[in-house]
Amino acid sequence: MKTKQDAPLLSDLLPWSVPPLRPGRAWVTGPDPAVLRRRWDALAAADDAAERARLLCPSRARTLHTAVGQLPGQATATGSLAGTPGRCPEPVRFAHGGFDLRWLLPDHRLIDAARPELWRVADARQLFVVEWTAQPRETDPPLLCSAVLPDGRSPAGRGGRIRPLHKRPGGHEPNLAPGLTALLAERLGRSVAPADVLAWVMAAAQSAAGGCAVPLPVDTGLWERGVALGERLVWLQTRGAHDRGGPAGARPRLPGGRRPYVRAALPPRGLPAACAYDADEEALLLGAGRIAPVPAGAWAYHADGVRVLEAWCAARSATAGADAQEPLAALGPDGWPPEWTTELLELVTVLALLAEAEPERAALRQEAAQGPGIGVAELRAAGVLPVPARARRPASVLDHQEEGPGGQFALL
C-alpha cells in the first residue's frame, strides 16, 4: 500500500522531536527495580576510585569526575561520583520499544544523553509518540505511543525520534504545526483538538520515504472513524493510562473465557532459559511456567521485525546478562518476581487486542491514502507549511528550579 505523494510527513505535523535516550551503560536500566538498587549499592560501596571506575564503566560523556545538574523532577546528588555518591535514586519507569516497561536510575551522572527537555514535560497529561522509519514488515506499526518517558528505540534496538504531544507540562502548548487544527476544523466542519490529531496519526500513519506519511482527510465520517480507532490504539498502548478510547479508569481486558491465566506458576528461584509457544494449546511456556490462553495474534505480534512477546521474555531470561561486558550489568535477579507475571498477563492482553484491531487499521490506512485529502500544497497555501523554526524547538519551561552541578541552581 502506498500513500499519495502529497501527504504530509509526521515531522511537519508534530515538528518538535528529540533523539533517543543514550544511557551509555547497560547497568543503569533493567526490568527489576530491586536489581538496580543492588547495582547502585555495589557502586557506592566500592573501596577505591579504580574499583568504582571499573563498575561505573566510564564513557566520554560520564566519568567519576563528571558533575552535572539534576534531571528535571529528580532529587539526586549533583557532586561527582568520585566523592560520596549519595542515596540511591528512586528507579523510574521508562518504555523500551513501546511495549517493554523497564526501570531506569534517573541520575544524570550515570546517563550519557538523558534528554532533560523531555523530563521537563513528562507528566500525567503527556503522551509521547515514537517514530521509526523503514519498517522491515508493512504490517508492523510505524509508530508507538507511550504515557511514560520512552527511550526512543524499537524492540530491535534501532533508534527513532520521540515526539511529545505537548511542549509544556500540564498539557499546554500542543506540539503541532501552527494553524493545523484550525485548518482541519475548517475543512472538516467540526472542532479538532490536539488529542484528535494524535489519534488520527496513530490510526492512519504509514512508513514512507523520509519518515511517516499522514494523509489528512476531508471526509468528516472518515476522520471520526480514524480518531475513534486511534484513541483505542493509544488507550491500549498506554495500558489504559490515556483517558480516551476505553472505559474510564479501566485497564485493557479480554472478554471472559479468553483472559490469560497462570496455569503453572514459575518457580520462585531461577529464571527460565527461554520462552516457547504451543499453538495447539494457545499456551506460552516459560520453563516450568505456563500461561494460557495466549491468542495466536498476541504471540505473532511484531514491531520493527521483532516478535514482541519473545523479546520481552528474553530480557527476563536466565541468559539475559550472560554476554554483559559491564560487571554491574551481569548482576541480575535471583528469581522471577510476581510483578513480572502481572506485567506479562497485561502485555498478552494488549497485544491480543492490538492484533484484533489491525485489520480495521489497515483498511482505514488504505481508505485514507486513496481518498481526497489535504495535501502539502494546501498546507502551504494555508500557511501551515513550512513549519517555522521555533516550532521545532522545545519551549522554555521555567516552572521550577533545577539543581545544577555541585548544588548550584541551573539557569534554563
Quote the CA–CA distance of 310 and 332 in Å, as a whole number: 19
For residue 214, give the nearest of 354, 391, 379, 350 by alpha carbon: 379
Residues of the chain below pLDDT 50 = 1-2, 410-412
Query: What angle do helix axes 194-204 and 338-370 make, rounded to 10 degrees?
Result: 90
For residue 207, give the nearest of 359, 10, 20 by alpha carbon: 10
pLDDT at 28: 97
For residue 196, give the nearest of 227, 226, 225, 221 by alpha carbon: 227
pLDDT at 248: 66
Q: Classify 166 as helix, strand or coil.
A: strand
* Residue 173 host element (H or E): strand 172-174
pTM for the full predicted model: 0.93
Sign for the CA dihedral angle at 20, 21, 25, 27 comes to: negative
pLDDT at 406: 59
**pLDDT of 298-317, one tens digit each?**
999 999 889 999 999 999 99
CB 71 within 8 A of CB 125: no
For residue 223, give the nearest of 200, 254, 189, 193 by alpha carbon: 200
Residue 203 in grid coordinates: 490510526
pLDDT at 244: 73
Quote the CA–CA distance of 233 and 285 in Å, as a whole number: 27
